[in-house]
Every structure is written in structure tokens, then in C-alpha cells.
Amino acid sequence: MSSVTKLLIFAKVPRLGKVKTRLEPLLGADGCLLLHKCLIAHAMELASGWSLGPVELWLADQLQDSDIQLDIPNDVSIRFQEGESLGQRMQFALRSALFNGDMASGNMAVLIGTDSPQQQLSHLKQAARLLKEGADVVVQPAFDGGFVLIGASSHAPEMGGEIDWGTGKVLDQLQAELNMQGLSCKRIETISDLDIEEDIVLLQKDKSHFLSGFYSKLNAQNKA
């Protein structure tokens, strides 16, 4: 039986005042909620072109009756993140994708978030190709010192150690952890994520079609 490469997407449940909060001074809480929904839609668009294996949406919280209805394709499975730190949650998801019980499944996995409108399907496929060619881990760096994609082949890297999540040290600290674990790591194109106002400025310089679509929806929302 041939192996597959699963696509794992990490996301927060869209809730007013709980998502993209660092952008609230610029966009307001309603604008941040709309932005988060647009970013999830972008990730789902990437998923629609994924043909290498199953797609799983890993939500940070359990769904509640009051939550906004998520527009998720029927072929995307919904899972829930487990672990205290971001590293532990990613490690759990990757291990779930790579192992059946205690046995290696032979599958590979590519994990992304929803904060990277510059991310393209070609990036995801390149990561999968590098894993197939023998890389233990593949990462896609972000300009802020973090990363927006991590892929793993036969082994889910330990990421619960000395990594200061949310800082510009993340990628360097992850690389140090991988070196200690004896895991090879390949990197693909560095892109911007979308967390703070400076990230929006970078995307505007890049003439991002994503931002154009978002602002159109924001203007319509404000006029409603």
C-alpha cells in the first residue's frame, strides 16, 4: 500500500474578540473576525487543490452551539488540538498523522496554520516532495523569525522543549532542537504571515490579492 501525505491545518475557532487581537486597533474586533474567516477560507482553497492525501482541520477549541458555522468541505475532517504549548499541539497532530497506534503508518504530513495569505499550493507540494526525497523535516520560514509550515516524514519532531513561541527566536530554536534529535531539515521559500500591522504593510507592498478581497468584504460589512 502506497503512502499518503496528509495536510493538517491549524486554526482557531472564529469568535469575536478572540482572533487576530493584535490587529484590533487597526481593524476593530469585527474586522479581525472577518480577517480570520478570510484566512480560513484561503487555507480551505489551498486544501481544495491537495491531492496527496486526506485533509484535516485541527481546531484549537471544541465547537460551541453559539459559534459561527464553519464553511468546511465535507471531505475535510475536523480534529481538535491537544497539548499546552503550540509545540506540543503540533507534535501531537503530526504524530497522529504519522502513526497508527504505536506503529509507523508510512505516511507523511504537512502542517500549516491559517495566517499566511502568501502561502501557495506549490509551497505545500514542494514540502511534500522534499519529504518524499528523504528529508526528515521541512519548514517554511516566516519573515518574523517563526515558521508557517512544518512537514515530517517518519518521525514527529519533539517540539515541547526550549522554544519561545511567539518570538523571533522560534525558527532558530526549532533548528537547534532538530539538530539535537538528529533530524535533517530542509527549508522552502520564506513568506510573510499576518499577525501585526507591519505584516499588512508587507502584503500591501506585495500587492496581495488577498488583501484586496478582504478590504472589499470589510467595506461591505461596514456599510451593512
- pLDDT greater than 80 at residue 179: yes
- Which amino acid, one-letter code, is at 74? N
Residue 76: how many CB atoms within 10 A of its CB? 18
pLDDT > 70 in the chain, percent: 96
Written in H, E and C, the secondary structure of 98-142 is HEECCEECCCEEEEECCCCCCCCHHHHHHHHHHHHCCCCEEEEEE
Task: Point out the least confidently predicted range of 67-71, 82-86, 117-121, 153-157.
Answer: 67-71
Q: Which domains does the chain have, with CATH numbers?
A: 5-219 (3.90.550.10)
Confirm whether pTM is higher than 0.85: yes
Of all helices (H) and strands (E), which one includes residue 150? strand 147-152
- pLDDT greater than 80 at residue 100: no
- pLDDT greater than 80 at residue 85: yes
Residue 62 is predicted with a pLDDT of: 92
| Band of pLDDT at residue 27, cut at 50, 70 and 90 | very high
Chain segment 195-219, per-residue pLDDT in tens: 999 999 888 887 778 999 999 999 9
- pLDDT greater than 80 at residue 105: no
Distance between CA 123 and CA 187 in Å, rounded?
11
- Mean pLDDT score, 49-78: 92
Residue 38, C-beta contacts closer than 8 angstroms, at least 6 positions apart: 210, 213, 214, 217
- Which amino acid, one-letter code, is at 177? E
| Band of pLDDT at residue 104, cut at 50, 70 and 90 | low
| Band of pLDDT at residue 11, cut at 50, 70 and 90 | very high
The grid coordinates of residue 213 equal 478581497
Mean pLDDT for the chain overall: 92
Residue 153: how many CB atoms within 10 A of its CB? 25
